[in-house]
Amino acid sequence: MTLVIETSGLTKRYRKVTALNDCTITVPEGRISALIGPNGAGKTTLLRLLAGLSRPTAGQLSVNGGTPRQDPAFLADIGYLGQEIPLYRRLSAEDHIRAGAHLNPRWDSALVRERLTGLKIPRDRAVGKLSGGQRAQVALALVLAKQPRLLLLDEPVAALDPLARRNFLGVLADAVALGNLTVVMSSHLIADLERVCDHLIMVASSRVQLCGDIEELLDEHRVLTGPSKDITAIERSQRVVQATRTPRQTTLLVRLNGPVIDPAFQVSEVSLEELALAYLGEEVPPASAPARLTPVTPGGTTPPYPPEPSAVFGDDR
């Protein structure tokens, strides 16, 4: 299995802020990886590091088999689209298509033209005069025309309406199915990601919480529902990611270390959304503190229903 992305201990610090801390991930070839995490978690930083737009403070990274560098051959294999959708506002889509043809060894102008025609986006109008959604479509079509081996998309569908979103994700899935393309895209729309993604990278508070195949990750986690009682026994055998308590019931999201033997708990499968929310629900303990499980909200006060997720989880590593 070829790894398109491989990082170890990747860290990016700005003057005072650590944007990404000790990030170790792998993404195999041919995956569509969902990069999720709260705002400011370090998603953009990670994507920019992978694209070679910024350089890490510490750690190693390998993208398409090499370190990101200023080299036409390396750049030709990377497609990157930032959140701000950078296009020349006074230039038309057609101008961008022609620029791309001049600037890239592989470039499928026909693909962009066809796609924009299909979307009824005028190719001769200045990009700055298009709507935000249309601009995003132009930028997405352009980044696909480059025919990269790795596509890094930062919130690509944020500006699109639901129908356009579904359409674009379909196009993306087709492109991945057709050739040796790997995609990493960040988004807050888990339902959308669930449709096309088969790989997950979750970051929160500058750290990677989860990284792996979505199916495997879902397989490793379970929701346990049982009476409101002491959970120390379970904590000993399973890793409790999140615990929610009402006076009558305890709901635990656990990462399985072995079979759940306590008959008082009912075991059910977990959805991607539940998994994401469980991990993103709470701040990670500071990097200096030893990773350990903190006790559930003390006192067992009665939270309103549905309860706020009072979370407990340890460092993933």
Distance CA 151, CA 165 (A): 17
Identify the CA nearest to 296 among candidates 288, 286, 307, 305: 307
Q: Where are the beta strands (DSSP E) in 135-248?
A: 150-154, 182-186, 199-204, 207-213, 221-227, 239-245
Token readout for 316 is: 């993933």
Angle between helices 132-145 and 162-178 (to 10 degrees): 0
Cβ atoms of 182 and 27 within 8 Å: the answer is yes
Q: 32-36 and 199-204: which strand pairing? A: parallel
Question: Whose CA is closest to 207, among 282, 134, 132?
Answer: 282
Q: Does 98 bind other proteins (CB under 8 A)?
A: yes
Q: By the 8 A CB rule, do 68 and 50 touch?
A: yes
At closest approach, how far in Å is the CB of 164 from other proteins? 21
Judged by CB under 8 A, the stretch of 86-94, 191-199, 241-249, 291-299 that binds other proteins is: 86-94
Among 2, 65, 66, 89, binds other proteins (CB under 8 A): 89
CB nearer other proteins, residue 137 or residue 242: 137
Helices 132-145/109-118 angle, 10° precision: 150
- Smallest separation (angstroms) from other proteins to the CB of 161: 23
Q: Which stretch binds other proteins (CB under 8 A): 23-31, 71-79, 271-279, 286-294?
A: 71-79
SS3 at position 61: strand
Chain center to CA of 302: 34
| Cβ closest to other proteins, residue 10 vs residue 210 | 10
Least distance between other proteins and beta carbon 242 (Å) = 35
Q: Is 132 an interacting residue with respect to other proteins (CB under 8 A)?
A: no
The site for other proteins, by CB under 8 A, has a size of: 33
- CB nearer other proteins, residue 53 or residue 158: 53
Q: Does 129 bind other proteins (CB under 8 A)?
A: no
Contact positions with other proteins (CB under 8 A) in 22-61: 48, 51, 53-55
Report in angstroms how near the CB of residue 57 gets to other proteins at its nearest.
Answer: 11
Give phi and psi for 122, each to the nearest 5.
-65, 130
- 124 near other proteins (CB under 8 A): no
Stretch that binds other proteins, among 32-40, 83-91, 129-137, 303-311 (CB under 8 A): 83-91
Peptide bond into 306 cis (omega under 30): yes
Site string for other proteins, 134-173 (x = CB under 8 A): ---------x--x---------------------------
Residues of the shown chain interacting with other proteins in the complex, contacts defined by CB under 8 A: 48, 51, 53-55, 70-73, 75-76, 78-82, 84, 86-89, 91, 95-96, 98-100, 102-105, 143, 146
